[in-house]
Amino acid sequence: MQEGKVLPAAQVNRDLLRSILETPRWFWPVVSLLGMIVLAAAVTIGIMVDRGLGITGLNYKVVWGFFITNFVFWIGISHAGVMLSAILRLAKAEWRRPATRAAEVLTIFSLMTAMIMPIIHTGRPWRILYWAFPYDFARGVWPNIRTPLVWDPSAILTYLTSSTLFVLIALVPDFAVLRDRTTGWPKIVYTMLAMGWEGNPRQWKLQIIAGVLLSALILPVFVSVHSIVSWDFGMAVAIKSWHSTVFAPYFVVGAVHSGVSAVVFAMILLRWAYGWQDYIRHEHIDALGRLLIVVATGWFYFLVMEIIFGIYGLEGDELAVRALQFLPGDHGVAYNVWMIVFVGITYFLPVILWLPKAWRRNLWIMSVACISVNVGMWLERYLLFVPGQANKQFQTFTWNDYLPQWPEALIVGATFAFVSMLMLLFSRVFPLVPLYDIKEGDILKTEMQIGRRTVPATFRED
């Protein structure tokens, strides 16, 4: 049974809509600061498109660097949405309620950010339409469906579409609440978005059916998106350490690991910023922490397996990449040190922090653990992708290293600002904690006395 008191519906509305109906004083300064970072990155992208990818640190050997690492990172973050809302919804985990929408919205924004990365990473981004949206009817040259790079856009756009539908369906009852509480042009917008929601039993039934149906339909996407992204690497026969069959499950579990951590951190930030102590409670963070221990351990298993599978074949060129990853050497970048740092901050540090119950309920400790996971997961992708390209085959003459330059660092940093900015702007327009879902949870919690027994006052059929 959950902790915390059952709040009256009017107070739920008042508390959760405060972020929309009143502007906090810090809001615009923070958004403008983030906007300036994004603007700086946009200018950098402009320079990059104008002058060529030469301004990055990529070279003749390492051709996929920071941008692709960042792409996979944000695709990973996006997995939190479907994990929290679809899987936990179908599993009837009550503690998911306040987190679902933040996770879904984070999914949408991180997918959008992720999609920018491979586009700006190409040599001629203005021609990208040719690949992702085939239009070349005249010459009959269609995209090559054998390549994972064509599977990618279809998987990601499917995920984006289904996540957007998911968020919109969950938002309809909340739009209606907003429609009734606003005036002027916002009211007109919310009226249109609410699509005539009155809250009658038939509408509720349809809404619940749509939610459950979408949860079930989104499940294959949950597995497919990151599997397909991992095949960008797994299908590359020429690069040792990439050409691995374990990549798909490894990437999916890693994605849930970093995604759920990111959602926990986002929830802690929102709780602090908007004062939602009564909604995002310690018990929710605690439950997510317990989930994360399981996910992290699953991920760690795959990490070890990936390394063992690589070394097991005892192929000289594969061992050369592993030596670059794990052994100290005379090369410029000390990958072995980064490797130790990465495993430490992605698994051992956070799991130790999540184990004691008191620490799971300490928001500072949880924040540290969740940030550390995400820094670690970013490093994981980098350490997975770059050494393989640097020591590609046993033609040692061509071995080469990669040093990222400032444009890449700036653009990668700005993606974090971009997602934060979008989340903040979203929270000003739409409720980031689902009102009806909280109320539904509260109703399910109410109990009544029958004789000496205390039983739930309601139960749900689905």
Residue of 33, 217, 238, 334 that binds other proteins (CB under 8 A): 238
Q: Which two tokens stand for residue 178?
A: 């907003």
- The whole-angstrom separation of Cα 227 and Cα 240 is 19
* Closest to 130 in 3D by CA, of 150, 109, 112: 150
Residue 154 near other proteins by CB under 8 A: no
Residue 45 identity (one-letter amino acid): I
Residue 393 near other proteins by CB under 8 A: yes
Nearer to other proteins, 28 or 130 (CB): 130
Min dist CB 139 to other proteins, Å, is 9
Residue 52 near other proteins by CB under 8 A: yes
The angle, 0 to 180 degrees and rounded to 10, between the axes of the packed helices 406-429 and 100-121 is 150
Residue 223 near other proteins by CB under 8 A: no
Residue 447 backbone dihedrals phi, psi, to 5 degrees: -125, 160
Residues 119-148 within binding reach of other proteins (CB under 8 A):
121-125, 127-128, 130-131, 141, 143-144, 146-148
Residue 155 near other proteins by CB under 8 A: no
- The whole-angstrom separation of Cα 368 and Cα 350 is 8
Stretch that binds other proteins, among 188-196, 208-216, 220-228, 229-237 (CB under 8 A): 229-237
Min dist CB 239 to other proteins, Å, is 6
Stretch that binds other proteins, among 18-26, 38-46, 107-115, 117-125 (CB under 8 A): 117-125
Nearer to other proteins, 131 or 175 (CB): 131
**Positive or negative CA dihedral for 407, 408, 411, 413?**
negative
Q: Provide DSSP, 52-90.
A: -GGGSS--SS--S-HHHHHHHHHHHHHHHHHIIIIIHHH
Q: Provide DSSP, 89-110.
A: HHTT-GGGGGGHHHHHHHHHHH
Nearer to other proteins, 239 or 288 (CB): 239
Min dist CB 253 to other proteins, Å, is 24
- Apex 432 CA angle, 427 and 437, nearest 5: 160
Min dist CB 377 to other proteins, Å, is 22
Question: Which residues of the shown chain bind other proteins in the complex (CB under 8 A)?
Answer: 51-54, 56, 58-61, 63-64, 118, 121-125, 127-128, 130-131, 141, 143-144, 146-150, 232, 235-239, 389, 392-393, 395-398, 400
